[in-house]
Structure 1
Amino acid sequence: MIQAYALQAGLLVPVAVTGEGRDAAVWIDMASPTDADEALVEQWLGIDVPTRDEMNEIELSSRLYSEGDVQFMTAAITANTHQERPQIGSVTFILGAGKLVTVRYIEPSTFTRFAERGARTPLGCQNATSLLLALLEAIVGRAADVIEQVGGDIADLSERIFYPAASKASRRDRDFQLILRKIGRKEELLASLQDSLHTLQRVAGYLAYITDREKDHRHRIRSLSRDVTSLADYSERLSQKIFFLLDATLGMISIEQNAIIKIVSVLATVFLPPTLVASIYGMNFEHMPELHWTYGYPLALLAMVAAAALPFWYIKKKGWL
């Protein structure tokens, strides 16, 4: 699908990709383009639109390059960050001939929101380059919102780990299992955001190089680069905290399991001596004088109680329970 936009009084206005719309269009957004869409844009602008496989190549030379006066920049962008399984995909920004072309096979909410906001509020953009900078700023702003939300979720997980609400050990174990799953999802999301920020940092550096003579853009590019760097540092700290919470959760689970095993071991130790006494007097040999005692039965019961009470008293005195 191809959606074209023109700048009119600072606003983004949808235009047709045929007729007069071609000349007025400043931003051409290609979402999951077909072969026919690629052929149309290539014929329209005289550029070679990269394929999906070419966009996913990891070499720096394949992600940031120029062909004549046309610049190609590919960055990893996250999508569906509000869902359990976020996505990350490559988005190529093509800048040339006074137009911005975006090629993507994912649906980040930033693109839709940017177009909607641009239709209501002037973006302060005069050309394709300033439009690209505004779009990148929106992408970085969205990443900042997601990272901030992840930070809040991590704080909630920390509260649940160190101050569990459940009093029963079985309930706490179930809670810890759920926490482990949430920790894994947050780490997956943070890893995707870190990959995205890393590629956006490269794009910002490349933009600084190709727009070196345009003073109006230098400040915005430097600010964009600083924002990306600070977000990358913050996400790295959050990632370290997630690993700490993972270790803490596993430690809590181990403590709960050890407590259960300790109780079982103490009970086995306490009831072993009475079992020994009962076993002795349950053998029924012929020559056992205790079998004929009048007080043999209560004495055996007393011996079993004493055999259980003494180990229990010793264990409590040592603080093992």
Structure 2
Amino acid sequence: MIRTYAAVDGHLHQIDAGADAGRVVWFDLLSPDREEELRLQDSLGLELPSQEEMAEIEDSSRLYIENGIAFMTALLPAQVESRDPILAPVTFVLGAGPLITLRYHTPRAFDTFPQRATRAETACADGASVLLSLLDAVVDRLADLLEACGRDVERLARDVFDKGAGSPGRQHDYREVLRGVGRLGRVSTMIQDSLVTIERLTTFLGPVLDRYGIAKTCRPRLKALSRDAHFLTEHAAALSGKLGFLLDATLGMISIEQNAIIKILSIAAAVFLPPTLIASIYGMNFAAMPELNSPWGYPLSVGLMVGSVLLTLWFFKSRGWL
């Protein structure tokens, strides 16, 4: 599918694919078929990278200039709120004409940005300004995701350290906490990887804008984008550190609860060991045992067992083990 946008009075409007190509400032290709790719390549005189080429991790494959046209690929997350978030490449193609974006998934910014650009004036007069506005929307979306991750980390921290504090006899189920930590760790890593690629893209974009003679008007916006991406990358790294601490704390709390259970079982075994020994002795039924024929033999053995239990409990209590 190809979505085509034109700039009208500072606003971005979607137009028919067959409209005048001179009005177009943005071609957005979403999972295009081969026929659509060939038609666009013929009309613009360029060759778009394949999906396999977009997935390559070398900087030379993600950021390069060919025949005076810049090809820039960044990793963008999508479906982050679902149980199966994805991180996939998006290629931005910028020359002296319109911007071309090629993608095979749907990051949220690609849906929200055209809607906002239709209503608000976003200075989308050409391909370069559309690219900067789109990258700004992408960075804003990543910032929102980081804020949401931070709130979820705080919620999980309360679950680990505060829940069940008033009822020490009950064991807290940490399996959901571990699942939440694992999911947040995956999402934060995706966001961090995405921000790193955007930071590299903005660094590469400066000389590209110089080539087209529009760096003076776009340089402040580009610097702001690069600065925001850098600060968000540091924030994502700090969030990853919090998640690592939270994971260690959760495993530590699980270990403490397991040790408490083992301690209770060990004390119970130690408490009932003396009466078991006494019962075993008087259960041997040797003929020479005088207590077998004594009328006070049974109460004596029961009293010894009860006394041994109380003595053991007193000993553990005096040592602070209970």
| TM-score, normalization by structure 1 | 0.96
Question: SS where residue 77 of structure 2 aligns?
Answer: strand
- In structure 1, the residue matched to 2:255 is 254
- In structure 2, the residue matched to 1:25 is 24
Amino acid aligned to 1:43 = D
| Shift in alpha-carbon separation, 1:169–1:231, aligned structure 2, 3 A | farther
| Shift in alpha-carbon separation, 1:169–1:12, aligned structure 2, 3 A | farther
Query: Unaligned stretches of 5+ in structure 2?
Result: none
Q: CA–CA distance in 2 between the matches of 1:211 and 1:23?
A: 20
Q: Percent identity?
A: 45
Question: SS where residue 272 of structure 2 aligns?
Answer: helix
Is residue 141 from structure 1 mapped to residue 144 from structure 2 by the alignment?
Answer: no
- In structure 2, the residue matched to 1:245 is 246
- In structure 2, the residue matched to 1:298 is 299
Question: SS where residue 57 of structure 2 aligns?
Answer: coil
Question: SS where residue 13 of structure 2 aligns?
Answer: strand
Greater mean alpha carbon deviation, residues 74-83 or residues 115-124: 115-124
Give 1:168 deviation, angstroms. 6.7
1:216-266 deviations in Å (ceiling 9; x for gaps): 111111110110010000110010010000000001011101100100000
- In structure 1, the residue matched to 2:206 is 208
Amino acid aligned to 1:300 = S
Query: Unaligned stretches of 5+ in structure 1?
Result: none
Q: CA–CA distance in 2 between the matches of 1:97 and 1:207?
A: 13
Q: CA–CA distance in 1 between the matches of 2:203 and 2:154?
A: 33
1:20-40 deviations in Å (ceiling 9; x for gaps): 2x2211100000111111101
Q: CA–CA distance in 2 between the matches of 1:17 and 1:165?
A: 60
Give 1:161 deviation, angstroms. 0.3
- In structure 1, the residue matched to 2:162 is 163
Contact 1:79 1:109 in 2 (8 A): yes
Question: SS where residue 46 of structure 2 aligns?
Answer: coil
Is residue 72 from structure 1 mapped to residue 71 from structure 2 by the alignment?
Answer: yes
1:48-91 deviations in Å (ceiling 9; x for gaps): 01100010011111111111221110000010111122110000
- In structure 2, the residue matched to 1:34 is 33
| Shift in alpha-carbon separation, 1:178–1:170, aligned structure 2, 3 A | farther
Contact 1:169 1:256 in 2 (8 A): no
The root-mean-square deviation of aligned C-alpha atoms, in Å, is: 1.2
- In structure 2, the residue matched to 1:129 is 128
Amino acid aligned to 1:193 = I
Is residue 286 from structure 1 mapped to residue 284 from structure 2 by the alignment?
Answer: no
Contact 2:109 2:141 in 1 (8 A): yes
Q: CA–CA distance in 2 between the matches of 1:121 and 1:150?
A: 29
Give 1:171 deviation, angstroms. 4.8
Q: CA–CA distance in 2 between the matches of 1:181 and 1:140?
A: 27
| Shift in alpha-carbon separation, 1:19–1:227, aligned structure 2, 3 A | closer
Q: CA–CA distance in 2 between the matches of 1:248 and 1:231?
A: 25
Question: SS where residue 155 of structure 1 aligns?
Answer: helix
Deviating 4+ runs (over 4 angstroms): 168-171
Q: CA–CA distance in 1 between the matches of 2:101 and 2:257?
A: 53
Question: SS where residue 65 of structure 1 aligns?
Answer: strand
Q: CA–CA distance in 2 between the matches of 1:263 and 1:132?
A: 64
Q: CA–CA distance in 2 between the matches of 1:209 and 1:316?
A: 76
Give 1:125 deviation, angstroms. 2.3
- In structure 2, the residue matched to 1:219 is 220
